[in-house]
Amino acid sequence: MTVVVVESPAKAKTINKYLGKDFTVLASYGHVRDLPAKDGSVRPDADFEMDWEVDGKSAKRLSDIAAALKSDDRLILATDPDREGEAISWHVLEVLRRKGALKGKSVQRVVFNAITRNAVLEAMQHPRDVDSALVDAYLARRALDYLVGFSLSPVLWRKLPGSRSAGRVQSVALRLICDRELEIEAFRAQEFWTIDGTFLTPGGQEFQASLNAIGGKRLGKLDIADEASARAIEQAVKGQPFKVDSIESKPARRHPYPPFRTSTLQQEASRKLGFSSSRTMQIAQRLYEGVDIGGETVGLITYMRTDGVDMAPEAIASTRNAILKNFGEPYLPSVPRHYTTKAKNAQEAHEAIRPTDMSRHPNTVRRALDQDQFALYELVWKRTIASQMESAELERTTADIGADGRDGKHYSFRATGSVVKFDGFLKVYSESLDDGEDEDSRRLPPMSRGDSVGVKKIEGVQHFTEPPPRYSEASLIKKLEELGIGRPSTYVSILETLRLRGYVKLDKKRLIPEDKGRVVTAFLESFFRRYVEYDFTADLEEQLDKVSAGEIDWKQVLRDFWRDFTAALEDVKELRVSNVLDALNDILAPHIFPPREDGGDARACPSCGTGQLSLKLGKFGSFIGCSNYPECKYTRPMTASAEGPEAVPAEGVLLGVDPETGEKVTRRLGRFGPYLQLGEAVEGEKPQRASIPKGRKPEDITLEEALKLLSLPREVGVHPETGKPIVANFGRFGPFILHDGTYANLDSPEDVFTVGINRAVDILAEKKARGFQRPKAGALRDLGPHPAGGGNIQVMSGRYGPYVKFGKVNATLPRDKDPQALTVEEAVALIQEREAKGPSKKKAPARKAAAKKPAAETAAAKKVPAKKPAAKKPAKKPVKAKKPKAA
């Protein structure tokens, strides 16, 4: 008997069917051990010795594997065919060795690129040893990530309160996003004009052309700078006869794209299907692990974490047969196509992502797949088929239409177009375009040199230059790959980590840096610049790839890195916070101190007029404050509104006077945003304040609305059954009513002021009938089983917002994350991050805390006379505990 270890239970079940009764296939459920999330797990002083920890669930699975080996004499490690898969095999091997479970046992490693019967059986015929070079590369990468995280994060926490942590690769990706935002903020639109014409051939057919040259000199994009210049050109050619100066047609060929690798699959799935990168990989994982077809579980695509673009010879032959069968001989090139990737540090040994059986047309498996699975499988199938098809043949035509202007200059307009002579691979697949119309889709009507051309319209069109676009997930992955940063297995986790830490948000599929992320990036650029440089990170990745190829020693890579990194850490530890703030003020100036319309000093305090605005660091993050504090208490959020920073003085904007109290009602701006205030602060007492509800523009709040908000919470009435009050108010998640510890949501903000006692009692009764009491959180969604087993993952609705629940672990969702759009991968990442923090420390109950205070202090707080301390009673003798009786 032979024990086979794979990663997932779904894969184990399928492979067991392929191998038969002589094999026992068990799942490791991913990684079985990791570095404990505490200082000292990697010890540079001990030549980078590493301490590993096995969690409880993995310990049981490893025990199951060890138990199975007692009656079997052979162990085959069949985890995924990449670095992570090799690392999992090594971890399993090391734990079993320490258990003494491998004495007299044969241990082998096999890899397969697809989960099909033939692929698995073929792999079993070619076993090998665990690749020590790949394991070394994994160890180096894991140690580097740990050392950077556990050394740099404490510096961040001390110097930048409110920051989370910094990662080796994530920090560089964050810098890309922040640098792009700085480019956008520094961008100044520039006006330019084009002269566009609609012309008519002698046969009356319309075509478009644009001014290309004046007096034989070709125009640049910005050469026509203003309306006056455009109108002068219009007048110069108005009423002048046009003719075809030249026309030229050239044949052209468009070649097919290579099959998908991880990054290009994520990019095209985003453009064509609207999938996020994590969603794409989730679906691809399911297609790889297999679906039920005709009573047998079959993997539909090959392994989806790869940077290779070539295919195995038998796969190429199968693809060519499918082309011949489905499209005919004209679409089949005479020789097969072979591709090589242009990405840095690619592992060419890995095959591209392709269907496991090219004869399995998407329509034949549609019933076995859900809508998203079918869409992604069809995309992979079409791209693979197209990669081996004949090139498309086109004819590109360029026509120059000219006229002599009234000013004596010759004006030349150019028209371009293409005709597809043979569609080739375009019959199956064309890569999506991000910007409008492709010139290949435009066709020019027939015309000849010397033909007179009619003019239907010539007009100047105003344009403005546009800033570079923000990164989407797909374009950021493409950029990371171009720079040689990250690897196929890390792209999704990089993006997820940045979002979970609150460093970026996703808005309309574009990545926007949050203030917290910009501050962290500015800090790292100022004091750890080398370690967020693109070239440095790419060079380090290249060294790690050399380790995996067995060319250099992994510990030497760590020694070189750690020597320089510790020196940088020591330099920064001596910095004062004031030095940090000065550096951040300079780097972030375009963002936090935008130019004023009047041209004045952008950093001048709008309240006192003499102070200078500066970035301040508080317990809950960054904000802008005045240098004259505490005399001037002006503050505002770090980010100004879209309309520009609002100059709200420290005394607030006066909205009016409360007719009942005669006190002023003001609108103010604090570090946490705008709020309303009634009256002024009196020594020892805070004035009445109210937050402005989400969705309301502060400047639109009237005195009447302000008084209503300041009157909250509003008592709706007394509950007829309990005799306890029902109150209405606004909370973090919108309008609500509260009765005896039970919260119930209201439909609209206006309900806070209008809901009556009868309706309030009904709402509370409805909630009680549904069983949603405050102590019991409601399940919003069931995401299904955790990939590592141990039960289902649920998205819950709690008192403080939605969160993810898995067993005893609760992980809060980021504010910008829609609980209905949360994927399993995102949920697992949240759970892992929460587990890494360890159990939360429970605060002592208020009663116990109060009990520890002296009686006089407690009584003073309650404003009642303090009781005299009672006389001490004599201590009782300790009672000896009785021994329990034997059962």
The residues, ordered by sequence, that sit 6+ positions from 415 with a Cβ below 8 Å of its Cβ are: 199, 207, 208, 209, 398, 399, 401, 444
Using CB atoms within 10 A of its CB, is residue 809 exposed (0-12), middle (13-18) or buried (19+)?
Answer: middle
Name the helix (H) or strand (E) containing 214: strand 206-214
Taking phi over 0 as left and psi of -120 to 50 as alpha, with beta for the rest, 773 belongs to beta
- For 496, the token pair is 């997820």
Q: Per residue in 403-412, is it b (16+ CB within 10 Å) or e — as a string?
A: bebeeebebb
Number of Cβ within a 10 Å radius of residue 318: 20
Cβ neighbours for 582, distance < 8 A, ≥ 6 positions apart = none
Which residues have a Cβ under 8 Å from the Cβ of 680 and sit 6 or more positions away? Answer: 663, 664, 687
- The token pair at 792 is 């289902």
CB 477 within 8 A of CB 164: no
Number of H helices, E strands in the chain: 25, 34
> Which of 466, 261, 293 lies closest to 373, judged by CA?
293
Taking CA atoms, 737 is separated from 245, 708, 709, 748, 800, in Å, by 78, 16, 15, 12, 15
Candidates 135, 75, 130; CA nearest to 101 is 75
Helix (H) or strand (E) holding 2: strand 2-6
Q: Do the strands 242-254 and 613-618 form a parallel or antiparallel pair, or are they unpaired?
A: unpaired
Residues marked active site are found at: 303
Distance between CA atoms of residues 640 and 700, nearest Å: 17
Closest by CA position to 84, among listed 353, 343, 305: 305
Contacts of 476 (CB under 8 A, 6+ apart): 173, 176, 177, 495, 511
Q: Which two tokens stand for residue 116?
A: 């099909």
Q: What length does the chain have?
A: 887
Q: For residues 162 and 515, is the Cβ–Cβ distance under 8 A?
A: no
3-state class (DSSP) for residue 722: coil
Cα–Cα dist 201/811, whole Å:
68
